[in-house]
Chains A and B, each alone.
Chain A
């Protein structure tokens, strides 16, 4: 479970750019929570703070009750992160890339190899497992990065734009996997600006705009609240039309 309470993060020399400005939301276990927002809404910054990559200026957040600043090390053991930057080691094979992260998480031996085989198989990368990632397509690289984020079977999974660069078939299979992870009780938080993704996958939607949570709830709740017929219209209406689109 992820609990976010009043997170603030500003950038710039005089901290004049407030990327996240008092975000508050909860992402529960056994559910997929979608962080939806236009470009520059602060999605990536929120995820970076939750992944302990950058500390918040103010506010608190906890993963399974562990504070993301004070208990950073323990948080890192529990999370699997597909970050904004998802570069691979081009001279290492897909398997070696995933294995590196597995080892850093304390895995090893045949258990790790079996886990890597299973993950790469599910992502449709079995045939490429022992090839260097140098010549991989954008989508293949993305899949390796996802396998790398999941190798230690984390209880909390955070994926920043996980479908970008994937083809339809890959997106469908990723969706299926995330649903099966949800069934096994994981807390899954994904950020996206693709409306369709959210509608098909997410149990709860957190709409972020200008660094603040503009609305949160299930898809149906958001539709009811705005009186709109589609999620896209609801999104635009919640962000205050012009303001939201301009952002």
Chain B
């Protein structure tokens, strides 16, 4: 047996060797691979289609209001007004309160039996709108029924004033005008949130399976001990694994975003007047914004995975991390305040902020991006050093 020729081994070469092996390894794990990639490509578009359909339905409901009326005969003038406004009047069923409660009906108009008599006597006549405001789906119908009643009230009042020779302006000294500054892209806040959230989530979920396999999995299979007896240094090992996890993460993020891009630009989606931009410019911005996270999360997962004594322990540690990362944007959404400036320093939070900005069609200032990337980059280095240190511990390869 001839002694093989050994080459001088640079650290970079060793790192590339480790990374290459890890990628081959994960690529061969077909089931995990398919599941992750399928979820990345398909789930986004499916989600989006559902949300958009919901929004479209809501718009439809508002436009073609079908209003069940109880006691339509009590106020023929009001009914005529509503019909002129394209409202379809149907008789309300007897058990309409129960039906509203269980969601079968959105809103019912009930006209008081004393309506005509009150009007004749100069008293305000009573009409009731019955609804359950806690139902999101019903909100559009409720709003339009209310505004129709207000409009009728105003019209009637104006006619009475004119009849008495008073200019209608006398009765309305205040002219309140709302100026909506939202560009078409700025509406559709929920969809906006979901797309940003999903992009963020992809950069986390893309690396979990690979990271666990390369850390706790490697130890549990008993392949870490012989590996640590090779000339490979622990930092080379950590960086090599990190690069592999990161590369896979990038793939998952790109697939997820491509799914959104294709869905929003080419899929036959219902026309709901609240489109936002997700063209190629936004795609590139998304990748750029998520880049610091695609460095940080694999590094943190590497560390967390190595900390777990067993695969199971590592898994539960990772779920804790997943929870923290996924709750941040939700908290931000519910705070509903203008973000304080320092938030751009906070990893995950800053990325979410920038993602929503990009979706609104705002340009991302390089300074802002740099600010959002600073801590992730620093923390990535810290996590990698900590992971290498864990591998150097004398109980690194044992299950402890």
**A→B interface (CB under 8 Å):** 51-55, 73, 76-77, 79, 81-92, 96, 100-108, 111-112, 114-115, 118-119, 122, 132, 145, 148-149, 151-153
**Pairwise interchain contact B229-A51, C-beta atoms closer than 8 A:** yes
Q: CA–CA, A119 to B1, complex, Å?
A: 9
**B→A interface (CB under 8 Å):** 1-9, 14, 17-18, 21, 24-25, 28-29, 221-226, 228-233, 394, 397
**Pairwise interchain contact B229-A88, C-beta atoms closer than 8 A:** no
**Pairwise interchain contact A88-B232, C-beta atoms closer than 8 A:** no
User: What 5 additional pairs, Cβ within 8 angstroms, besides A79-B229, A111-B5, A115-B1?
Assistant: A86-B226, A106-B6, A108-B7, A111-B4, A115-B4
**Pairwise interchain contact A91-B229, C-beta atoms closer than 8 A:** no
27 A-B pairs in the complex with CB atoms less than 8 angstroms apart: A51-B229, A81-B229, A82-B226, A83-B225, A83-B226, A84-B225, A85-B222, A85-B225, A85-B397, A87-B221, A87-B222, A87-B224, A89-B221, A91-B25, A91-B28, A92-B21, A96-B21, A100-B21, A104-B9, A104-B17, A104-B230, A104-B232, A105-B231, A106-B7, A132-B28, A149-B226, A152-B4
| Option from B28, B229, B231 in Cβ contact (under 8 Å) with A92 | B28
In angstroms, how far is the closest chain A Cβ from the Cβ of B238?
Answer: 14
Given known A-B contacts A73-B233, A105-B231, A92 and B24 have beta carbons under 8 A apart: yes
Q: Which residue of A lies closest to B26 (CB)?
A: A91
| Option from B6, B7, B221, B229 in Cβ contact (under 8 Å) with A83 | B229
Q: Which residue of B lies closest to A118 (CB)?
A: B1
Q: CA–CA, A84 to B18, complex, Å?
A: 22
Total residue contacts A-B, CB cutoff 8 A: 102
Q: Which residue of B lies closest to A88 (CB)?
A: B223
In angstroms, how far is the closest chain A Cβ from the Cβ of B13?
Answer: 8
| Option from A55, A76, A82, A86 in Cβ contact (under 8 Å) with B394 | A55
Q: CA–CA, A234 to B230, complex, Å?
A: 37
Given known A-B contacts A54-B394, A76-B231, A89-B25, A107 and B4 have beta carbons under 8 A apart: yes
Q: CA–CA, A114 to B21, complex, Å?
A: 20
Given known A-B contacts A91-B25, A103-B17, A104-B17, A52 and B229 have beta carbons under 8 A apart: yes
Interchain residue pairs A-B with the least CB separation, the first 7: A87-B222, A85-B222, A87-B223, A91-B28, A106-B9, A85-B225, A87-B221
Residue from B6, B221, B229 having most chain A Cβ neighbours under 10 A = B229
In angstroms, how far is the closest chain B Cβ from the Cβ of A153?
Answer: 5
In angstroms, how far is the closest chain A Cβ from the Cβ of B236?
Answer: 9
Q: B residues within 8 A CB of A153? A: 1, 3-4
**Pairwise interchain contact B231-A100, C-beta atoms closer than 8 A:** no
**Pairwise interchain contact A105-B24, C-beta atoms closer than 8 A:** no
Q: Which residue of B lies closest to A158 (CB)?
A: B229
Q: CA–CA, A81 to B232, complex, Å?
A: 14
Q: Which residue of A lies closest to B393 (CB)?
A: A54
Q: CA–CA, A53 to B395, complex, Å?
A: 9
Q: A residues within 8 A CB of B18? A: 104
Q: CA–CA, A84 to B5, complex, Å?
A: 28
**Pairwise interchain contact B233-A85, C-beta atoms closer than 8 A:** no
In angstroms, how far is the closest chain A Cβ from the Cβ of B32?
Answer: 10
Q: CA–CA, A174 to B218, complex, Å?
A: 27
Q: CA–CA, A52 to B232, complex, Å?
A: 12
Q: CA–CA, A227 to B222, complex, Å?
A: 42
Q: A residues within 8 A CB of B223? A: 85, 87-89
